[in-house]
Amino acid sequence: MTENKSDILTSSARLSVAPMMAWTDRHCRVFHRMISREVLLYTEMVTAPALVLGGALRLLDFSPEEQPVALQLGGSDPEQLAKATALGAAHGYGEINLNLGCPSDRVQSGRFGAVLMTEPDVVRACLERMQEASAAEVTVKCRIGVDDQVVEDSLPAFLSMIERTGVTRVIIHARKAWLQGLSPKENRDIPPLDYDLVLRMKQMFPGLHLTLNGGVAHLPDACAHLEAGLDGVMIGRAAYHTPYEILSRADCDIFRSSKTPAPEAQCIAEQMIPYMEAHLQQGGRLHQITRHMFGLFSGQPGARHWRRRLSELGAQHNAQVADYRLLLEERAALLQRQEELDLN
């Protein structure tokens, strides 16, 4: 029997790349998909008002090769979120994720993100209307709590409310969000991680598919969390800055769908060329793609040279694929010289 879209998304959620503003755009997602066929990818957060009131449907665009990919929405108005969910589903997204974790002042001012963890009745209404609006699976991404909440009490109550709405998949960033006094960047690092609390939530809510997010920097760490009993792991900055290190063995080690890791990083760099050519033909700039590829060779010989030369290439407004090909040839020659020196 062929897996339906929801089953595929749930399976892929064993390892996912976090939605990150200004980072996980469609070009980044195509690049990540070149490295792993299985991981679940997320869009940047798209606000419901931008879609419903602003008509910014271009924000929903994605390429078929990105699948499985999920749409993350921000908002607090149940009717706007219902309409945005329907638009997302019509564009081909099988999962619509509600952001209840972002702590930024800008997001708070629109009553989006983590501030909604203090308004469970609003969240309940939003989730119910989103599920009524389409057949797409509705999921949640939240924190363990905000500000002075006693998370051992508030988080179970919040998850219980979510479960009663019929939502079955929740991503938990294992840190509190401090809505006052910490910047978004500080909120990603300063509040302590509480992985044990998230694991206890899985034991308390066995019917929920719980994904752990926050501070996971290496694939073996993700494997350890899965072996401990969690259903999924979401990796953010590490997957962006060291994509090959994180994603190249995911299909083999996390999903068991392949006995071999992804092609070598050099091959990935070459496989991006047709996509680059198509993007330039549509009037795009090379840098819009290559800016996501700085970490491709992280930890490998020549990584610093790659980053420097890719940065120089990105600064050229009219850079062409031919320039990128020359960079690949330059890198190959550099590695060849290094091998010859090592042999001597």
Confidence of residue 107 (pLDDT cuts 50, 70, 90): low
> What whole-number percentage of the chain has pLDDT above 90?
83
**Whether the predicted pLDDT of 233 surpasses 80:** yes
Residue 8, C-beta contacts closer than 8 angstroms, at least 6 positions apart: 68, 94
Q: Report the pLDDT value the prediction gives residue 108, as an integer from 0 to 100.
A: 58
**DSSP one-letter code for 179:** S
**Whether the predicted pLDDT of 253 surpasses 50:** yes
Which one from 102, 142, 252, 267 is the annotated catalytic residue? 102
* Catalytic residue check, 102: yes
107 burial level (CB within 10 Å; 0-12, 13-18, 19+): buried
pLDDT tens across 14-36, in order?
Answer: 999 999 999 999 999 999 999 99
Helix (H) or strand (E) holding 96: strand 95-100
For the chain, what is the largest distance between any 2 Cα atoms, rounded to a whole number of angstroms?
A: 70
Q: What is the mean pLDDT of residues 210-226?
A: 97
DSSP per residue, 183-210: -HHHHTTSSPP-HHHHHHHHHH-TTSEE
Which amino acid, one-letter code, is at 190? I
- Whats the size of the chain, residue-wise? 344
**Cα-Cα-Cα-Cα dihedral sign, residues 140, 142, 144, 146:** negative
Q: What is the pTM of this model?
A: 0.94
Closest CA to 116 of 124, 88, 48: 124
pLDDT tens across 130-176, in order?
Answer: 999 999 999 999 999 999 999 999 999 999 999 999 999 999 999 99
Residue 196: C-alpha distances to residues 39, 102, 189, 203, 281 (Å): 24, 22, 18, 11, 50
| Residue that has been written with the tokens 């503003």 in this structure | 21
> What whole-number percentage of the chain has pLDDT above 70?
96
**Whether the predicted pLDDT of 10 surpasses 60:** yes
Strands of the 209-213 sheet, one edge to the other: 15-17, 232-235, 209-213, 169-177, 137-146, 95-100, 69-74, 41-47
**DSSP one-letter code for 280:** H
Q: Report the pLDDT value the prediction gives residue 2, as an integer from 0 to 100.
A: 39
Q: Report the pLDDT value the prediction gives residue 1, as an integer from 0 to 100.
A: 33
Q: Report the pLDDT value the prediction gives residue 4, as an integer from 0 to 100.
A: 67
pLDDT tens across 291-337, in order?
Answer: 999 999 999 998 999 999 999 999 998 999 999 999 999 998 988 88
